[in-house]
């Protein structure tokens, strides 16, 4: 039995839901024949989120880590290619922190590539008629920070785990009464997408 850890974020920026958490919860209840799926909810707080994720990876030793977060305004499921060593928050996190133009790890590498099979993930999503595309920037907010911090811990500690980050668009209910011109996906589509990515994340490249 292989193990996949999914991380998801609590709501932020005045929202009452976060599509990553809603979707992770839906996938947590699904049956995977040969995979044990574990879900953790992370606070939108620059220190706690990476610490919690890394502690969980060390403790439970998953085979793959699929980190999820919201990227409103995007119209597709977007697996991220790269994490960069920079915090530049344009809004404060839920703890009130707003670092500007600061390295995440002083003296650390400029970036880390995702070690998930991105092309296969996008291909499988497209086969299921779900819009998807590799993204070349995870931004400079907490999702990038979590992504970078986890990849750095995996590299430094030489942990045998593949990992990467995927941004999800808004859910329909987030654009019904506000943001009327913004794209969104249904809960069903989002959950199916994450299910597909969990399965594909373990495929050999």
Q: How far is the CB of 34 from ligand PCA (least distance, A)?
A: 29
* Count of positions on this chain that bind ligand PCA (CB under 6 A): 12
By CB under 6 A, tell whether 165 contacts ligand PCA.
Answer: no
Contact 88, 99 (CB under 8 A): yes
- Interface pick for ligand PCA out of 70, 79, 148, 192 (rule CB under 6 A): 70
The sign of the torsion formed by the CA atoms of 29, 30, 31, 37 equals negative
Active site residues: 80, 143, 167
End-to-end CA distance of the chain: 19
C-alpha radius of gyration, the chain, whole number = 16
CB of 21 or CB of 154, closer to ligand PCA: 21
> What is the helix (H) or strand (E) element at residue 185, kind and residue range?
strand 184-185
Residues 71-130 that bind ligand PCA (CB under 6 A): 71
Strand residues in 16-136 grouped as ranges (E): 35-42, 64-70, 78-79, 82-84, 111-113
Q: Provide the 8-state DSSP code for 85.
A: S
CB of 71 or CB of 82, closer to ligand PCA: 71
By CB under 6 A, tell whether 139 contacts ligand PCA.
Answer: yes
By CB under 6 A, tell whether 148 contacts ligand PCA.
Answer: no
- Interface pick for ligand PCA out of 4, 6, 7, 20 (rule CB under 6 A): 20
Q: Which spans of this chain sit near ligand PCA (rule: CB under 6 A)?
A: 9, 12, 18, 20, 44, 69-71, 139, 141-143
């Amino acid at each position: 039995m292989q193990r996949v850890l999914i991380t998801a974020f609590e709501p932020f920026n005045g929202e009452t839901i976060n599509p990553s958490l809603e979707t992770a919860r839906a996938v947590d209840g699904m049956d995977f024949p040969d995979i044990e799926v574990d879900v953790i909810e992370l606070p939108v707080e620059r220190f706690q989120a990476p610490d919690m994720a890394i502690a969980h990876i060390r403790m439970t030793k998953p085979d793959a880590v699929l980190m999820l977060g919201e990227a409103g305004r995007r119209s597709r499921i977007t697996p991220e290619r790269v994490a960069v060593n920079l915090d530049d928050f344009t809004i404060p996190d839920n703890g009130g922190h707003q670092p500007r133009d600061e390295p995440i790890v002083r003296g650390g590498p400029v970036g880390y590539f995702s070690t998930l099979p991105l092309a296969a993930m996008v291909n499988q999503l497209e086969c299921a008629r779900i819009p998807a595309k590799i993204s070349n920037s995870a931004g400079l907010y907490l999702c990038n920070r979590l992504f970078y911090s986890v990849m750095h811990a995996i590299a430094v500690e030489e942990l045998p785990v593949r990992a990467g980050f995927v941004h999800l668009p808004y859910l329909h209910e987030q654009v019904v009464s506000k943001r009327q011109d913004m794209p969104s996906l249904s809960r069903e589509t989002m959950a199916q997408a994450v299910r597909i990515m969990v399965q594909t994340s373990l495929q050999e490249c």
